[in-house]
Chain A
Amino acid sequence: MEQIRVEKTASRGIVVEKVYMYLEPDLTPATGTIADDQVQAEIEKFEAAKNAVVEELGQLAEKNEIFAAHLEIANDFMLQDGVESKIKDSKSNVEQAISNTIDEFAMIFASMDDEYMKERAADVRDIGKRMMAVVKGVKLPDLGVLTEPVVVMAKDMYPSDTVKINPALVKGIVTEEGGVTSHVSIIAKSLGIPTLVGVKGILSKVDDGEYICMDAGEGIIVVKPDEDTEKEYLDKKAAYEQERARLEGLRSTPAVTKDGKRIYLCANVGNVQDIRNALPMNIDGVGLFRSEFLYMQNTHFPTEEEQFVVYKEAAELASQELTIRTLDIGGDKELSYYEFEKEENPFLGWRAIRISLDMKDMFKEQLRAILRASAFGHVRIMFPMIIAMEELKNAKALVKECMKELDERGQAYDKNIEMGMMIETPASVMLADEFAKEADFFSIGTNDLTQYILVVDRGNKKIAKMYDYFNPAVVRAIKQVIEAGHKEGIKVGMCGEMAGDQKAVELLLDLGLDEFSMSAGSIDYVREQILNRE
């Protein structure tokens, strides 16, 4: 028996099943060059292979749109030119020519900065494999022939593999390569198949037909389990599935406490895809859109137009509420294209609203983008790290300036857009009664608030135990903020880790919190706590 720990979970769940080794036949290209009089024959071989693959993909494309793009690649004239010129000019045999051409294109994609484009290298290789198999006259492994439930183990899985996955038989997936954004991960998640990717060396540790236990959520694989372990995982699996079914059954119930208070359950997101992933949980909106990711995953300060496109889509998806936090950079978050001066205490330094108010033009690009998106949904602006009334007033004044500019351009926006603030500094807690008169809503950011109130660095392992949002000082601060907000009739939400902590729900409800915003994975659990609260 051996236990393997894995860091990348692609899709959660627990499995105890037989292993099905999904390994490729040898597709190594033949060596050697060809004679001049073979050129035409080799080109014909390629064309025949291409036609066969195009036909095969054409059929697959009818079932799954991913293959429409593959079909275009297989048909691509640059791919054809590449293969034919290698046959004609370098006298490569057809297998070499296909292999080298595919490599060239796959490398272009693999070397890109963008994670998404990197993963596309697999698409190109997928097509190469198909062509190679036709040329060699071998069959590729086929998930379509499974007859019993299995855990599929593979080096990697391509879209042409995953399309054949029958979730009734494929109970789990483990791959040696691949990332959490790869096709196999996305498809496994959408089919609800427990999956671990990037498990180095796993293929040499198991044999076809052996049983394995896997807890994908915890990132554990047990190979050659003993009887007790197998039983333990079967019990865990039954409990997990029961729990999931029960929680999913609660999704259609609005989060109303037994004493009749409607609580808003929202998602914290970093991009539009996160919103799509959270929608099935029946969210009441997005309580925190972290706009900094737009800045961090870029090569320049994103323009108004670039931001607008993203915010607009987000606003349309999260139609009930989209709370966009303005740029929260500095502290531990840096930008590749902007050099921050080194600071003694970055968390006490030039960050968030302080940067935005110093770099007004940059800030206004963002504000105009948010305002324009507000014409497409219920958008709210949220300012981070406020410590003084002057900051809030200055930020709001800049929004007004931007509104005027949009009026001059004749562009639409929500004239009554709500402008609120994060409560994450001790100063904002102490002045909450004042701020409540000026802000349209509060959102308590417990991560920073806890570390600032307790003076405990949340990244320091030695004092990790002291970092505790149940510390009475933090709880009192939260109470004070909620009371101050309610006195002025504004909504008070929370978007820190605490909002997604099941153990905190009862306390926060008692304190009167109106909105809980958290990562999507916690929503089902918090909803249950709210519904059950006595």
Chain B
Amino acid sequence: MVSQKVTVSNPTGIHARPAATLAKTAAPFKSSIILVAGEKRLQAKSVLNLMSAAIKCGTEITVECDGEDEAEALKTVVEAIESGLGE
């Protein structure tokens, strides 16, 4: 398993559209992709799960990827979050 910390930088946090962008980014990977925010563990591939956590801008989260393409998955997901999820 690989993991990396990243700070949510898009101004509105992970709400509907950014959550959809993130879920879409995560979907093609075979690895499991989990976002750890405080005590919550969220499935990055599930837009419902992401949205229901209402992660605000400025929150530091840890991305955990586990599976055959974990390195590539981690890099892609962290980059997507850093670049503001399309906002």
Contacts and interface: CB of A to CB of B under 8 A. Distances in A.
B47 interface: yes
Interface string B1-44: 00000010101100111011001100000000000000000010
B45 to A, nearest CB: 6
B51 to A, nearest CB: 6
A124 B16 CA distance: 11
A306 interface: yes
A69 B47 contact: yes
A79 B48 contact: yes
Contacts of B54: 112, 114, 117
Contact of A105 (B7, B20, B43, B52): B52
Which residue among A72, A73, A78, A309 has the maximum number of chain B CB atoms within 10 Å of its CB? A72
A272 B11 contact: yes
A72 B15 contact: no
Given A108-B52, A120-B15, A120-B16, A72 B47 contact: yes
B62 interface: no
A411 to B, nearest CB: 16
Contact of B24 (A72, A79, A109, A272): A72
A77 B23 CA distance: 11
A218 interface: no
Contacts of B45: 77
A309 B9 contact: yes
Contact of A306 (B12, B43, B48, B57): B57
Contacts of A272: 11
A505 to B, nearest CB: 35
Given A116-B15, A117-B51, A78 B57 contact: no
Contact of B58 (A109, A305, A313): A305
A21 B39 CA distance: 46
B15 A117 contact: yes
Contacts of A310: 11
A116 B13 CA distance: 11
> Interface extent on B, as a size class?
20 to 34
Contacts of A109: 51-52
Contacts, number: 61
Contacts of A358: none
A78 B15 CA distance: 17
Nearest to A113: B54
Interface magnitude class on chain A: 20 to 34
B22 to A, nearest CB: 9
A76 B23 CA distance: 9
Nearest to A68: B20
A307 to B, nearest CB: 9
Nearest to A101: B48
A278 B41 CA distance: 39
Contacts of A79: 48
A303 interface: yes
A69 B16 contact: yes
B46 interface: yes
A78 B49 contact: yes
A71 B23 CA distance: 11
A72 B20 CA distance: 6
Interface of A: 65, 68-69, 71-73, 76-79, 105, 108-109, 112, 114, 116-117, 120, 123-124, 272, 303, 305-306, 309-310, 313
16 contacts: A69-B20, A69-B47, A72-B23, A76-B23, A76-B48, A77-B43, A77-B46, A78-B43, A78-B48, A79-B48, A109-B51, A112-B52, A116-B15, A123-B16, A272-B11, A309-B57
Given A69-B47, A77-B43, A105-B52, 18 more contacts: A68-B20, A71-B20, A73-B48, A76-B46, A77-B45, A78-B43, A108-B52, A112-B54, A114-B54, A116-B12, A120-B16, A123-B16, A305-B7, A305-B58, A306-B56, A309-B9, A309-B57, A309-B58
